[in-house]
Amino acid sequence: MSARPTATDLELRPADNEQLARLCGQFDENLRQLERRLGVEIKNQGHRFRIIGAPEAAGVAEQLLQELYEIAGRKHLEPEDIHLHLQQARLDELQEAVAAEGADADAGEAPARAPEEGEALVRTRKLQISGRGPGQRAYIERIRANDLSFGIGPAGTGKTYLAVACAVEALETEQVRRVVLVRPAVEAGERLGFLPGDMAQKVDPYLRPLYDALFEMLGFERVGRLIERNVIEVAPLAFMRGRTLNHAFIILDEAQNATVEQMKMFLTRIGFGSTAVVTGDVTQSDLPADKPSGLRDAVEVLHEVPGVSFTFFSASDVVRHALVQRIVEAYDSRSSLSASGKRR
Kindly report, residue by residue over 52-107, the tens digit of the pLDDT: 888 888 888 898 999 999 999 988 887 777 877 776 665 545 544 444 444 443 33
Task: Specify the pLDDT at position 127.
Answer: 79
Task: Specify the pLDDT at position 203.
Answer: 63
Q: Which residues contact 184 (CB under 8 A, 6 or more apart)?
A: 206, 236, 237, 254, 255, 257, 258, 262
Task: Specify the pLDDT at position 26.
Answer: 85
Three-state SS sequence of 83-139: HHHHHHCCHHHHHHHHHHHHHCCCCCCCCCCCCCCCCCEEECCCCEEECCHHHHHHH
Q: Where in the chain is the domain with CATH 3.40.50.300?
A: 121-313
pTM (2 d.p.): 0.62
Neighbours of 69 (CB within 10 A): 22
- CATH for 6-103 (3.40.50.300, 3.30.1370.10, 3.20.10.10, 3.10.28.10): 3.30.1370.10
CB 122 within 8 A of CB 250: no
Task: Specify the pLDDT at position 194.
Answer: 53
Task: Specify the pLDDT at position 91.
Answer: 53
- The residues of the chain scoring below 50 in pLDDT are 1-2, 92, 95-118, 188-192
Domain topology for 121-313: Rossmann fold (3.40.50)
